[in-house]
Amino acid sequence: MDDTLINWRAAEAGAIEAIAHSHFVPAGSPHAEVVRVYAVILDETWETWRTQRKWVYVTERLRILTERLGLQGLDAQAMGAQFHREAATRLQLLEGAMEALAAARRGRRTALLTNGRPEIQRPKIERFGFDRAVDFVGVTGELGAWKPDPRAFRLVLDQLGVRAQDAVMVGDALDFDIVPAKRLGMRTVWITQSAASHPDADLVVHAPVGLLPHL
């Protein structure tokens, strides 16, 4: 869902910009340094997930950010709540998202599989109507298995009654979506803004609209 159907990275960047201006800059930390250090922490968060399967949530990331910038008196919980409000206001559908979902569903079974806690992901799913646009929604915090664990994919395939070799996985993350799906025998579509290719991606498009000629 995130950065496959909606612009999560852009929304997150905007939320951090807002928090930097409202909290960190008044506390004496330059805006550019706040953004730079947060980007490092976010990269570390992804690496921690890849290597340890442990996710560092935004409130903890903001607490770490405060410590690394040598600041005191900032409330990470309050900033975390603001982060989610700010990000929500910036979320938008990627080009062709709903059209691609509708086209994919014609004569086929479809599902959404997204990593995250239900209290974070379900409001986004309901806001954009993804729960009505597919036959099944799998939130990994509810399923008990998180991508790239093959169990997460199999749970969704079982819900649809579809074999892996008859399924297509569409996603933005090579290591969470494309590579594990290909290992299970699924065909794959990689959504990426880059000009890159990958041997496990059967098709590369820049936005969901790029799927329409293939559906």
- What is the per-residue pLDDT across 105-142, written as a single tens digit (0 to 9) for each? 999 999 999 999 999 999 999 999 999 999 999 999 99
Q: Is the pLDDT of residue 97 over 90?
A: yes
Model pLDDT, residue 59: 97
How high does pLDDT run on average in the chain? 97
DSSP string, 10-71: HHHHHHHHHHIIIIITTTT--HHHHHHHHHHHHHHHHHHHHHH-----HHHHHHHHHHHTT-
Model pLDDT, residue 36: 97
Q: What percent of the chain stands above pLDDT 90? A: 96
| Distance (Å) of CA 17 to CA 6, 91, 96, 137 | 19, 15, 27, 31
Model pLDDT, residue 50: 87
Model pLDDT, residue 195: 83
User: CA 45, 33, 18: angle at the middle one, nearest 5?
Assistant: 80
37-62 confidence digits (pLDDT tens): 999 999 999 999 989 989 999 999 99
171-208 confidence digits (pLDDT tens): 999 999 999 999 999 999 999 999 889 999 999 999 99
Please tell me the distance from the alpha carbon of residue 92 to that of residue 5, in angstroms, as a whole number: 9
Model pLDDT, residue 101: 98
The answer to whether 196 and 206 have CB atoms below 8 angstroms apart is no
Model pLDDT, residue 203: 97
